[in-house]
Structure 1
Amino acid sequence: MSADSPKVVLVTGTSSGIGLAAAVSAARAGWTVVATLRDPGRAGALRAAAAEAGVDLDVRRLDVTDEASITSAVEGVLADHGRLDAVVNNAGAGHVATLENESVAEVRKVMEVNFFGVLSVSKAALPHLRATGGRLITVTSVGGVIGQPFNEAYCAAKFAVEGYMESLAPVAAAHGVSVSVVEPGAVATEFVANVGIDLETAVADAGVYAPQLQAYLARTVGQFTDSAQTPEGAAEAVLEALTADEPAFRLQTSAWARDFVGIKLGDLDGSAVLGLTRGWTA
């Protein structure tokens, strides 16, 4: 491993959105980027963005819920590039439901992708990040700081990721590995496609919770439509975590995200957060 060779970063969940933008921006900044996704057949937008930016990406399969896939991807990076300097855990899936209207099995599935998938990739990568004094970066969400109505399972997974990484950070730092989390708010990707539901059907099936769900969806879809940040803007925080001399543990992707999570971090009794989120379902 030559000190002069380009640094290598593995990014998960690069078929669209922040993962795609982060992969391209890292390549433009001079990194060798291994851009992974569960289904390489969905890499068309990724390859087109790379071509438009004039950069090369090493596109590979990685399913964060499949241990064999993770092992194969990490071992392949080491075999072909000789080093691993950073990981960006971006792969995840949205989920909208409330406890009475979903099974515990569905909640476990959300945790499997958004929490255990992050842990599995991080565990496989850590020995190699120790060897390079590397960086472990996880894209979480403002929903990993403030719980949001009808996002109980999703927010629980993101809370868990934030707690795990905050706890891991000083342990990893003692061995030269920097740990950071990146917290986006609404990003201009397909909200409905990401959560995988038909909105009308979801409301019709919500039973006593239908009025609250309808109000929440109207507010949230409007936010994603009217005031969302671009994936490229959000990816700037990922690039900062990759390149800063001493990256912060917690990075928000916009002024709105900083203000939003600031409500929670200064809310000792919880009244400010609940006063805010109750209004989303009224």
Structure 2
Amino acid sequence: MTTKTVLITGTSSGIGLAAAVGAARAGWHTVATMREPGRADALLEAARAAGVADKVQVRRLDVTEATSVADCVAEVVAEHGRLDAVVNNAGAGFAGTVEQQGMGPVRAAMEVNYFGVVELTLAALPHLRASGGRLITVTSVGGVVGQPFNEAYCAAKFAVEGFMESLAPVAASVGVRVAVVEPGAVTSEFVTNQQIDVPAMVEAAGPYGGALQAYVERTMKSYGADTSQTSEEAAEPVVALLDASEVPFRVQTSDWAREFVAPKLADLDGSAVQTVTGGWLR
């Protein structure tokens, strides 16, 4: 049997790293991409420890650069002859409120969290169509429920969910399954990488200082042992979708995440919407 190939973005840490190792353990040839391949040490060490170093290949891919995306996909297909799955995982958090931050963070959040996803999807779809493959995108509970002081980030994740929900029935008509995975609080470098100086941020928030302090205190509690997941736990549903016989459109990664989005979503797995919109194409 030909080994299937999956391309995963944002694999230097967190969910992306765990998903890359998990996919390799599941037997997939895993092309683990990141903006800076020099940061691959943690991934490669984890792959060695799991006994799957031979199934993990690191490549550079910056989702905000169209040429980087196109070149990477072309190289993978040229080398392996196929592309069976893509996991859009690369992303960045942005905390703050628009009145004080201005348009810069909003545009930056959309560039990496939304346009980067669209760019890779565009490049990969012809190959996924050829293989009858899968397109999996890690979004967030913040793609369902808008959260204070996360306008830019949530707007981008909302956009991703709308894009994928619209694309899913179209892709299904040509044999490509589309899913979004919604983690809740995950203890990983994603939060650390935002490098937020909370006291300074609260002090600079002016009239929003009290609300920001309350939000930060509530958010920190959500990263406790009883509510947050490890990156490995959050990556498990991503890996499972690669080989699942049934692929729901929407998957939450924990009971906490399901409870968080439940007030907003009566259709937790997206099947009701997909049944309706998919029927428009038959």
TM-score by length of 2: 0.91
Secondary structure of the 2:193 match is helix
Q: Distance in 2 between matches of 1:203 and 1:191?
A: 21
Q: Provide the residue aligned with 1:17 in structure 2.
A: 14
- Specify the alignment match of 2:50 in structure 1: 53
Work out the CA distance in 1 between the residues paired with 2:236 and 2:143: 19
Q: Deviations over 1:51-73 (max 9, x none)?
A: 11010210010000001111111
Report Cα offsets for 1:186-217 as digits up to 9, x if no partner: 00113542323211221111110011111111
**What is the distance in 1 between the residues matched to 2:248 and 2:194?**
29
State the alpha-carbon separation in 1 of the partners of residues 64 and 180 from structure 2.
Answer: 20
- Equivalent residue, structure 2, for 1:260: 260
Instruction: Give, in whole Å, the separation in 1 of the partners of 2:101 and 2:10.
Output: 25
Amino acid at match of 2:15: I
- The answer to whether the aligner puts 1:40 opposite 2:44 as a matched pair is no
Q: Could you tell which deviates more after superposition, 257-266 or 48-57? A: 257-266
Whole-angstrom CA distance in 2 between matches of 1:197 and 1:21: 24
**Equivalent position of 1:243 in the other structure:** 243
Q: Tell me which residue corresponds to 1:84.
A: 83
Q: Helix, strand or coil for the counterpart of 1:10?
A: strand
Q: Which runs of 5+ in 2 are unaligned?
A: 268-282
- SS of match in other structure, 1:5: coil
Number of the residue aligned with 2:277: none
- After superposition, what is the alpha-carbon deviation per residue over 1:23-77, rounded to whole angstroms, capped at 9, x for unaligned? 0000000000000000011111111110110102100100000011111110110
3-state secondary structure, aligned to 1:185? coil
> CA-to-partner distance for each residue in 1:135-171, whole Å, 9 max, x for gaps?
0000000000000110111000000000110000000
In structure 2, the partner of 1:274 is none
Q: Which residue of 2 aligns with 1:278?
A: none
1:26·1:239 contact (CA, 8 Å) conserved in 2? yes
Name the amino acid aligned to 1:103: G
Which position in structure 1 is the counterpart of 2:64? 65
Q: Number of residue pairs matched?
A: 264
Is the counterpart of residue 210 in structure 1 residue 192 in structure 2? Answer: no
Q: Aligned residue for 1:28?
A: 25
2:16 maps to 1:6: no
1:154 — aligned with what? 153
Is the CA contact 2:93–2:191 (under 8 Å) kept in the aligned structure 1? no
TM-score (norm 1): 0.91
Mapped to 2, the partners of 1:192 and 1:59 lie a distance apart of 23
Say which is worse superposed, 109-118 or 197-206, in terms of deviation: 197-206
Instruction: Provide the rounded CA distance (Å) in 2 between the counterparts of 1:167 and 1:137.
Output: 14
SS of equivalent to 1:264: coil
Superposition RMSD in Å: 1.2
Deviation at 1:218, TM superposition (A): 1.4
Aligned to 1:110: 109
Structure 2 residue matching 1:138: 3-state secondary structure: strand
Could you report, residue by residue, the CA deviation over 1:64-111 in whole angstroms, capped at 9, with x for unpaired residues?
Answer: 000111111101101111100000000000110112111112201110
Aligned to 2:126: 127
Structure-2 residue corresponding to 1:279? none
What is the rounded CA distance, in whole Å, between the counterparts of 2:221 and 2:211 in structure 1? 15
Task: Give secondary structure in 1 for the equivalent of 2:10.
Answer: coil
Contact 2:6 2:30 in 1 (8 A): yes
Counterpart position of 1:271: none
The answer to whether the 8 Å contact 1:146/1:261 transfers is yes
CA distance 1:34–1:103, shift in 2 (3 Å)? same
Q: What fraction of aligned residue pairs are identical, expressed as a percent?
A: 64
Residue of structure 1 equivalent to 2:270: none
- C-alpha distance in 1, partners of 2:172/2:119? 19
Residues 206-250 of structure 1: CA distance to partner in whole angstroms, max 9, x if unpaired? Answer: 110011111111111232244310111111110121111121000
Q: Which moved more, 1:166-175 or 1:197-206?
A: 197-206
* Offset, 1:263: 1.2
SS at match of 1:101: helix
In 2, Cα distance between the equivalents of 1:19 and 1:33?
Answer: 11
Q: Please show how residues 136-155 of structure 1 align to structure 2 within 5 Å.
A: 136-155=135-154
Letter in structure 2 aligned against 1:143:
G
